[in-house]
Structure 1
Amino acid sequence: MATTDDSFNGLTEYCDECELDTLHEVSVQIRTESTKKENAQFSREPYRVSECQRCGHRTSQRMNNA
């Protein structure tokens, strides 16, 4: 589970690579999932992206699986 800390821009989360709770930069990105041009406007989905500030390991997770 992510927790806020006293850092300027980040969250403390468990990192699978470091095997520790480390500072992570977290953002939300809108990604287009369709490769077809005519459907691209309907296939945008939000993803939560988390990057470990210690080792650089990055994970992303689709936010809505409707």
Structure 2
Amino acid sequence: MATTDDSFNGMTEHCPDCDLETLHEVSVQIRTESLKKENAQFSREPYRVAECQRCGNRSSQRMNNA
């Protein structure tokens, strides 16, 4: 779970590679999931992306599971 602290970005969470609570840069990306060009406009989904600022490990999680 992400927590806030007095860091510049303020987001710390557990990094499985570092095995520590580290500063993470967190963003939301809209990704197209369909490979078919005619369906691409209907297959965009939001993903939460977190990158560890210590080791560079990057993880993403789909936010809409409908």
- Length-normalised TM-score, structure 2: 0.96
Q: What residue in structure 1 maps to residue 2 of structure 2?
A: 2
Give the Cα separation in 2 of the matches to 1:40 and 1:10.
35
CA-atom RMSD in angstroms: 0.8
CA deviations 1:27-63 (Å, max 9, x no partner) are: 0000000011100000000000000000000000000
Greater Cα offset, 34-43 or 7-16 = 7-16
- Tell whether 2:15 aligns with 1:15: yes
Cα separation, 2, equivalents of 1:47 and 1:8: 23
Structure 2: runs of 5 or more not aligned:
none
Q: Which runs of 5+ in 1 are unaligned?
A: none
> Number of aligned pairs?
66
TM-score in terms of structure 1 length: 0.96
Instruction: Determine if contact 1:10/1:26 at 8 Å carries over to the other structure.
Output: no
Percent of aligned pairs with the same residue? 85
Structure 1: 4+ residue segments shifted above 3 A: none
- The amino acid across from 2:44 in the alignment is R
* Cross-structure match for 1:25: 25
